[in-house]
Structure 1
Amino acid sequence: MGLPKGRQSMFSARRPQRRSPFHEIDLVLWGIPLAMTFLAGILIASTQRQAEFADWYQHWITGGVGLVLAALLSRVPLERLRALLLPIYGFTVVSLISVRLIGTYALGAQRWINIGGFHVQPSEFAKLGAILLLAGVLSRYPIERPVDLIRPTGVFLIPWTLVFLEPNLGTSLVFAAVLLVMMFWAGMPLGWVVLLLSPLVAAILAGTLPPALVIWVPLMGLIAYRSLPWRWIGVAITLAVQGLFAAITPYLWMHGLKAYQRDRLVLFLDPSKDPLGGGYHLLQSKIGIGSGGLWGTGLMHGQLTKLRFIPEQHTDFIFSALGEELGFVGAMLLLLGFGVLMWRLLQIAGKARTDFESLVVIGVGAMVLFQVVVNINMTIGLGPVTGIPLPWMSYGRSSLLVNFLALGLCASVNRHSRHQQSHW
């Protein structure tokens, strides 16, 4: 006979629905990085067609290991990591110090440690360690007064200094960008962000366009007057700092940077000044990207990539291989992918259960976005060569593992915030 209609509906409502084992997978959060990693393996193989070696497959192997670690990490609530923040930070600092003691030299810098035949770059992992501790600090002590900037800045100062001294200018810039974005997310007014960046601008203007300081310095004084709680004291300090950075720029330029770092910072303005030296990478990268046209030459068919006109193209200059073989359309699709991924991270940060989790996701997003902007600007000639890899695309075991671990942290926040909402 069967049950009456009312009872049938009650019974069906109580019956547990069968869910796909993939129902919790965020297609944007996981799919875009995986697609990039797969594409990068093909592009890396293309750059090694004429090489005596071929290790492009290691990018996929490292990506597979990173994916497994990220999947495991995504099941761990981030709040459990709070008790481990100080040990993680301590290990980060020790690993960076060990680079100074037992690190190996390569490409003019001491950045790697040889562990079991693998070259590990502690500065890459240090980014995650610093993000986690900074999130813990800012979630407990949000930015409400200028004095609140001391604590988070101090957290980043030690690893930043150690990374800068390797020397690793690119990664140290990533640290600075992450710090500013996370403090802004924790409540720091936009005016303070401008004031913190203003000494760098003053230094650049002092070396390139000194008359512009007549406008810039008073403008910063006005922003200080309108945004700082102690107005006239803030104006005095701001003007003094602007003048100091403008005055010491020549000394810092000559003695604070290595010769090759100075070349990287200025040659992008006119790489033809040294076409066979420091400007060679930039010139060949722009030629390769331009030769791709609208649709590109096709994967594994790029002639400039095949002939290896760009040394070490599979690392920091992988975007030039993409531009040649997939053209303008492929480059735009990659940028769209990064844009959608950043939008998804902002959504996850906004729905996070705690300030700590939200700040971790924002820190990861800032780390990825800054690297994308700097790397692509570098390869198309709009920025200096800084040695910053393109996330999930550039060859490099340490950077790829860190990107996937960062993905696992964000996936953990997303997964547990979903569970909390479903319980409500």
Structure 2
Amino acid sequence: MVTLPRRNRGLFSAGGAARRRPLANVDWFLWGIPLAMVLVAGVLIASTQRQANYADWYQHWITGAVGMVVALLLARLPLERLLPWKWPVFAVMVASLIAVRVVGVSALGAQSWINIGGFYVQPSEFAKLGAILLLADVLARHPVERPVDLIRPVAVIGLPWLLVFIQPDLGSSLVFGAVLLVMLFWAGMPAAWVVLLLSPLVSAIASGTVPWLLIGWIPLMGWLAWTSLPWKRVMLAVAVGVQALFAVLTPWLWEHGLRPHQRDRLTLFLDPGQDPLGGGYHLLQSTVGIGSGQLWGTGLMQGSLTKLRFIPEQHTDFIFSALGEETGFIGSALVVAGFVLLMWRLLQIAGKARTDYESLVVVGIGAMLMFQVVVNINMTIGLGPITGIPLPFLSYGRSAMLMNFMALGLCASVARRGRASPNRW
């Protein structure tokens, strides 16, 4: 009889224990939190359509189930096998975004969908994931050590960002920028450079709100460029010039580059009462609905504002208002805590990834999800502008749901093969 070495006996006994306890290695944070949100969201969507028939609530569960199957399949696929496909995937992504401009379907002021066999697909959702996969490879092979190294990652994100922005889909275009900044920082780019990349946005906002702030802001960015960048005199001039350019051009772009409804979305959150029956209506009704839930909520399927359809698009962008009304502060806090735990788990996976590429993919996915969470929740409670960004796993939308589960499948693949990993699902 052959005696197995001690190490191999341990492996065999661990496999036997795993077979006796098939759920022992399930990653409950990675899978349990999103699935719980999908289940709750189905009930909330059913509540929002009690007096209408614009969304079949059970389709949210069906899409979640299909997404879960796809995610489990991707979890068994090493990410390295995706690398040869990065450029074909990027090409298809760009082609689909161009196709939206040619044969796309318009809704809610944006031409963002393509009708494929009766199913409306939103290419911008899948473009987020495709851009993350390519950007992770670029940053893993070409770290940003000099300002000129920013050309590659900015070009990777810049093309899909532009194609999404001109749809026009302002919300999704913001996601690309957030993903780029977080992945650059994770890849080792100095924090001062991240601030400099964000600084033109601050200058643009200040030019239209508090122009006197530019008196201190522009010199501060010049000093930051002088102390953190090479070619000090050149970079100082570039930093100051860019700030001044954005400060001058923003008022013109505000008037001629954005449509009236887009301008309203960006400003009315400051005082929705200025247009209570127009652009501010969403925000006013959303905050009233969330506040009416108080501590414990009115109960699922019992929300008065939800039932009477006081809040437009509640099954999609404003699903958090239905959650607040029907589950109250407790239910809303649990959902927020769930997202925090999910992000914590993704950071764990990224920290234990075997390669820089895998780590960057997970961080990019985490940035994509959490940026959408923060913007959507702030939007529904009146702390941010209406940008049309859905709440992951809760808002109704087939493309977004499938893309989110595909992203989780890739994260699970990294977790299964990470350092000190117990081969968890």
Residues 252-305 of structure 1, C-alpha deviations (whole Å, 9 max, x = no match): 111111111111001111111110100000000000000010111111111111
Distance 2:133 2:8 in 1: 47
Partner of 1:372: 373
Tell me, what secondary structure is at the counterpart of 1:16?
Answer: helix
The alpha-carbon deviation at position 223 of structure 1 amounts to 1.3
Question: What letter matches 1:185 in structure 2?
Answer: W
1:109 Cα offset (Å): 1.4
CA contact (8 A) 2:352 2:420 kept: no
* 1:213 alignment partner in structure 2: 214
Q: Contact between 2:354 and 2:419, CA under 8 Å: does it hold in 1?
A: no
Tell me by how many angstroms 1:14 deviates: 7.9
Letter in 2 for 1:360: V
The verdict on how the C-alpha distance between 1:215 and 1:53 changes in structure 2, with shifts beyond 3 A counting, is: closer
Gapped regions of structure 1 (runs ≥ 5): 1-6
Q: Distance in 1 between matches of 2:221 and 2:419?
A: 43
Matches within 5 A, 1:4-23: 16-17=13-14, 18=16, 19=18, 20-23=21-24
Q: Give CA-to-partner distance per residue, 1:101-160, whole Å, 9 cap, x none.
A: 111111121110001100000000000000000001000001111111001000111111
Change (3 A) 1:218 1:419: closer
Tell me by how many angstroms 1:52 deviates. 3.8
Aligned position for 1:73 = 74
Match of 1:354 in 2: 355
CA distance in 2, matches of 1:262, 1:214: 26
Provide the rounded CA distance (Å) in 1 between the counterparts of 2:8 and 2:49.
Answer: 62
> How far does residue 32 in structure 1 lie from its aligned partner after superposition?
0.4
Equivalent pair of 1:24/1:415 in contact (CA under 8 Å): no
Deviations 1:46-103 (A, max 9, x none): 1111114550000000000000000000000001100110011011001101111111
Separation of aligned partners in 1, 2:221 and 2:11: 64
Deviation at 1:16, TM superposition (A): 2.4
What is the aligned partner in structure 1 of residue 89 from structure 2? 88
Deviates more, 1:11-20 or 1:78-87: 11-20
Counterpart contact for 1:315–1:396, Cα < 8 Å: yes
Equivalent pairs: percent with the same residue? Answer: 68
What's the TM-score once normalised by structure 1's chain length? 0.95
- TM superposition shift of 1:230: 2.1
Distance 1:134 1:335, change over 3 A: same
Residue 417 of structure 1: how far off its partner (Å) = 1.5
Aligned equivalents of 1:226, 1:23: Cα separation in 2: 52
- Kindly indicate whether residue 58 of structure 2 is the aligned counterpart of residue 61 of structure 1: no
Q: Distance in 2 between matches of 1:386 and 1:95?
A: 22
For 1:231-270, list aligned pairs within 5 A.
Answer: 231-270=232-271
Residue identity in the other structure for 2:171: G
SS at match of 1:162: helix
- Greater than 4 Å deviation, 4+ residue runs: 9-15, 418-422
Note the C-alpha offset of 1:236: 1.2
CA–CA distance in structure 2, aligned partners of residues 247 and 13 of structure 1: 68
Runs (5+) with no aligned partner, structure 2: none
CA shift in 2, pair 1:11/1:215, >3 Å: closer
SS class of match (1:114): strand
- The residue number in structure 2 matching 1:284 is 285
Aligned 8 A contact 1:316 1:375 in 2: yes
Give 2:275's aligned residue.
274
Per the alignment, residue 4 of structure 1 pairs with none
Q: Which string of whole-angstrom CA distances, capped at 9 and with x for unpartnered residues, describes residues 287-340 of structure 1?
A: 000001011111111111111100110000000000001111111111110001
Change (3 A) 1:151 1:15: closer
| Number of residues of Structure 1 aligned to a counterpart in Structure 2 | 415
The structural deviation recorded for 1:11 is 11
Q: In 2, are the aligned partners of 1:50 and 1:307 still within 8 Å (CA)?
A: yes
Distance 1:158 1:10, change over 3 A: closer
CA drift of 1:24 comes to 3.2
